[in-house]
Amino acid sequence: MVRRDVIAAFAALALVPCAAVAQDTAKIGLILPMTGQQASTGKQIDAAVKLYQAQHGTTVAGKKVEVILKDDTSVPDVTKRLAQELVVNDKVAFLAGFGITPSALATAPIATQAKVPEIVMAAGTSSITEASPYVARTSFTLAQSSVPMAQWAFKNGIKKVVTLVSDYGPGIDAEKSFSETFKADGGTIVENLRVPMRSPDFSPVLQKVADAKPDALFVFVPSGTGAQFVKQFVERGLDKSGIKLIATGDVTDDDQLNGMGDVMVGVINAHNYSANHDSAVNKAFVAAFRKANNGLRPNFMAVGGYDGMHLIYEALKKTDGATDGDKLMAAIKGMAWESPRGPISIDPETRDIVQNIYIRKVAKVDGELYNVEFETIPNVKDPVKAAKKK
């Protein structure tokens, strides 16, 4: 039945006029988790998309840009259905958003069939851009942060590590890339631990960490889940155990960091964006975002959404408003600009983002907790794809 439904959906796609047909409106189908466990991701990206349009208007190259927001609740089957409806019924020129990897992957065949660019603003598994030639990413890959974190850890005296990740694509990428890099440098991985992405209970695995007594615990959990992890980390007494906590920046998410408490002070992590990033572009972005959203601090998901809109607007400018998928993808490849996170570009070969990765320490700044950058690794490509070329 599933196969029959897919065939029927693709047949429907073939029968309708594609988004390339001349029209006065260029529609963006924005699919996000607005409810459920990843609702923080949806809230941040939606707010950033609205801010970008408030600042840059809703007309580009003679086309009115209309955003159609859909809530997929982080359920890939729902994502896929919504993507099909947006292409067939709404004739969108872009599909965008995608809070988690399974949702982005579920949409890739639709993007290919309909020749509609899929702009990934959140999901971080390396393989996503390989699932369709019409996928481009403005977020990050987990390996971009995990490899620098492993290198920093070994250089700074950490010799034995336990890894703890959420058991799905990005988590497995983070575990593999951290572990391989750390071992290649001469370190020891004591154990690789995984927890379910949905309804995670960290207590059993944290007990294993306590028993193993590593120098450090390396953690990846998706945006929105960090607070729950930290709560159980403290309840288990690991904050007083002498085991260092190192992480990707998903764990020390700007959206939730203040609520995690002072136990986070000193946590070292690696990531692509901090609201504390010291640049004029970022200071203006943070001020505008907070003003538009009742003081809410933007996180790395917000920047992925904001830059995703920039990519879409600039692609439309390059095509003079044409919404032919192949022309848009040609415009997207190699595009470069100054983001609130620093200089970024779209790798013309992989359609993945190239960006600075920062090593940061959680510290108090003016009474608030921030990820304070102290080391920069410039122009990092996705290490997983880079390794395939060797």
Q: For 50-91, how does the pLDDT look when each residue is reduced to its tens digit (9 = 90+)?
A: 999 999 999 999 999 999 999 999 999 999 999 999 999 999
Among 281, 270, 258, 251, CA closest to 344: 281
pLDDT(5) > 90: no
CA–CA distance, 212 with 189 (Å, rounded to integer): 11
pLDDT(262) > 50: yes
Model pLDDT, residue 23: 59
Quick: pLDDT tens for 340-373: 999 999 999 999 999 999 999 999 999 999 999 9
| Tokens 């890099």 sit on residue | 181
Top mean-pLDDT range of 16-25, 252-261, 370-379:
370-379
Quote the percentage of the chain above a pLDDT of 70: 94
Q: What are the E-state strand segments in the chain?
A: 25-32, 59-60, 63-71, 94-97, 118-120, 135-137, 160-166, 188-195, 216-220, 244-248, 268-271, 336-339, 342-346, 353-365, 368-380
Model pLDDT, residue 226: 84
Q: Which residues contact 300 (CB under 8 A, 6 or more apart)?
A: 139, 140, 223, 249, 250, 253, 254, 271, 272, 273, 341
pLDDT(100) > 60: yes
Give the H/E segment covering residue 386. Answer: helix 383-388
**Under a CB-based contact definition with an 8 Å cutoff, are residues 267 and 239 in contact?**
no
Tell me the pLDDT band of 15, cut-offs 50, 70 and 90.
very low
Quick: pLDDT tens for 112-165: 999 999 999 999 999 999 999 999 999 999 999 999 999 999 999 999 999 999
Task: Assign 59 to helix, strand or coil.
Answer: strand
The CA–CA distances, whole Å, from 246 to 166, 197, 269, 289 equal 15, 19, 6, 28
Quick: pLDDT tens for 280-303: 999 999 999 999 999 999 999 999
Model pLDDT, residue 22: 45
Tokens coding 5: 């439904």
Quick: pLDDT tens for 165-184: 999 888 999 999 999 999 99
Q: What is the mean pLDDT of residues 227-253?
A: 91
pTM (2 d.p.): 0.91
CA–CA distance, 321 with 92 (Å, rounded to integer): 14
Model pLDDT, residue 71: 98
Residue 297's φ and ψ, nearest 5 degrees, are -85, 130
CA 332 to chain centre: 18
Beta bridge partners of 376: 358
Q: How high is the mean pLDDT of the chain?
A: 93
Model pLDDT, residue 147: 97
Q: What is the mean pLDDT of residues 210-234?
A: 90
pLDDT(12) > 70: no
Tell me the pLDDT band of 18, cut-offs 50, 70 and 90.
very low
| Tokens 């992957």 sit on residue | 105
